[in-house]
Structure 1
């Protein structure tokens, strides 16, 4: 027994990303606790949350709308990663790895969204 979204690779990747961003944000300084750390966590978690919400009892149009929210949350995640890099909380190597994962997931989300329209 499983929900439809659990079988989606984009949801699985988004879940992994949320957990990775949570780990990354744990290393940020305490002064970022209610700022960048929380924003990064919320943005990254919203990717999977919107994929799942859009896939349950929604029309293709509604599902597409929620995938759009996921794509925007992914863009927000990337921007938070840039902020973390600029502030010295994430090194260049880690940034590049996570940026690549974000880029791949974005392309997967866009492709899936095009497919369901």
Structure 2
């Protein structure tokens, strides 16, 4: 349906995932099964769900997977804020990634809105 590597939102979420993997290497080792594991899973979930949705057969299914990806983005944003507030990572390191999460959330919303418009115009 959509060529996933052409989607800017997918490209941005791959960028975010790579940055998260670098960031979590700075977290204390006692967070290996806590925040580190959770942040990795959330970040991977974002481009993975975008890709899965893009490969589905309908706009409705794509929107569903974009919605899941959006939830993962908000979850990751929360974990980034938490890691900053727990003084595990400096605010300067986290702020850029939070901004990237927000950018991806906005892109996701716009893409879902665009898919909804396409759905409506093909129905009539």
Tell me the TM-score normalized by structure 1: 0.94
Q: What is aligned with 1:60?
A: 59
Query: Distance between the aligned counterparts of 1:93 and 1:30, measured in 2?
Result: 21
Query: Distance between the aligned counterparts of 1:107 and 1:79, measured in 2?
Result: 16
Alpha-carbon shift at residue 95 of structure 1 (Å): 1.9
Q: What is aligned with 2:26?
A: 27
Query: Distance between the aligned counterparts of 1:50 and 1:57, measured in 2?
Result: 11
Structure 1 residue ranges, 4+ long, deviating more than 4 angstroms after superposition: none
RMSD: 1.1
How many aligned positions are there?
Answer: 115
Worse-superposed segment, 92-101 or 43-52? 92-101
Q: What is aligned with 1:82?
A: 81
Alpha-carbon shift at residue 57 of structure 1 (Å): 2.9
Q: What is aligned with 1:7?
A: 6
Q: Which runs of 5+ in 1 are unaligned?
A: none
Query: Distance between the aligned counterparts of 2:56 and 2:44, measured in 1?
Result: 21
SS of the residue corresponding to residue 57 of structure 1 reads coil
Alpha-carbon shift at residue 15 of structure 1 (Å): 0.5
Query: Distance between the aligned counterparts of 2:81 and 2:10, measured in 1?
Result: 23
Query: Distance between the aligned counterparts of 2:76 and 2:57, measured in 1?
Result: 25
Q: What is aligned with 1:106?
A: 105
